[in-house]
Amino acid sequence: MHQANDTIIYERSEGIAEIRLNRPHRLNAVTGALYDALLAALDEAERDRQVRVVVLTGEGRAFSVGADLKEHGQGARTDFEKRQYLVRANSVCRRIRSLMKPVIAAVNGYALGAGAEMAVACDFLLMKESAQLGFPEVSLGTFVGGGVTHVLPQLVGLTRARELLFMGERIEGRTATTIGLATLALPDDRFGTGVREFARRLAAKAPLSMQLAKAQLNGAAGRDYDSALVAELEGIRACMTTKDWHEGVKSFAEKRAPVFTGE
C-alpha cells in the first residue's frame, strides 16, 4: 500500500506503516499542511488492522529541522493563526503518544526543534550514528513544545534535560543512546535494514498487550504504585479474554513462535 501527497509518503507492508516527511528540499521543515497530513496518516495507521507498528522518518538527509522559518517569515498570519499552528504541532505529538500502536522515530539525519519534539514523543527512537538531535529554541528566543518539558526529564533525568534545553547543543546517535534518549544508534550504511528488523520484531508481538503496555507506561508518572497494581491486574484480566492470550499459552506449550491476530 502506497499513498503520497505534497508533504507525506505513506507505505504499508509486513504489518509496518512507514510515514515519511516529504519536504527534502527544506530538510523536512514543518508547516501547517505537513502537520495536517501527518495527523491524517497517523489516523490511517491506527484504523488499519493490518498495521502493527508505525515508523516515522524523513525523506532525504533530515528527519526534520523544525519549523520552516522561511515560510513563517513570509506569511502575514494573524495571532490566532499563529496559535492554531502551534496547537497543531502539539496535536501531532499528542497523537503519537496516544496512538494505540507503537511508533518508532527513525532519525535518519537532523532532528531539530519541532523535529526533535516529534522524535521524543515516539515510543522508540532509533538514530543513525551520524544523525544530530537538538533543541535550539532557547537560542532563538522561542520555546519548546510537544510536551518536551514533561517527557524529556523522564527519559534522561532532570539534570541532562536542563543541559539539552538550556544549551541547545546537538547530540549524535551514540551519545543519545548513552544518555537514554535514543533506543539504538545504528551504522549509517545499515540504518534502513536495522530499523526494519526492529520494526518486524515489534510487529510480531501481541497487539492488544502492547496497547495496554504503551498506555500504562505513558501514564505511569501520574500514577502511584497501588494504582499501577490495579491497572495491571485489569490489563491481565482483559488479555485473558482474547484469542491472542490462548495463542500465546498454546504456542509456549508447543514450543513454537506465536501468531497473533489482535483479537
What are the catalytic residues? 117, 137
Are residues 19 and 5 in contact, defined by beta-carbon separation less than 8 angstroms? no
| Spatial separation of the C-alpha atoms in residues 109 and 174, rounded to whole Å | 13
Query: Which alpha helices (H) appear in 48-169, and where do they start and end?
Result: 69-74, 79-98, 114-121, 148-156, 158-167
Rounded to whole angstroms, what are the CA distances from 181 to 97, 110, 141, 177, 178? 16, 15, 24, 6, 8
Tell which residue, 186, 195, 13, 217, has the closest CA to residue 105: 195
DSSP 80: H
If phi over 0 gives left and psi between -120 and 50 gives alpha, with beta otherwise, what is residue 80?
alpha
Q: Are 130 and 62 in contact (CB under 8 A)?
A: no
Cα–Cα–Cα angle for 102, 104, 108, nearest 5°? 170
Residue type at 115? G
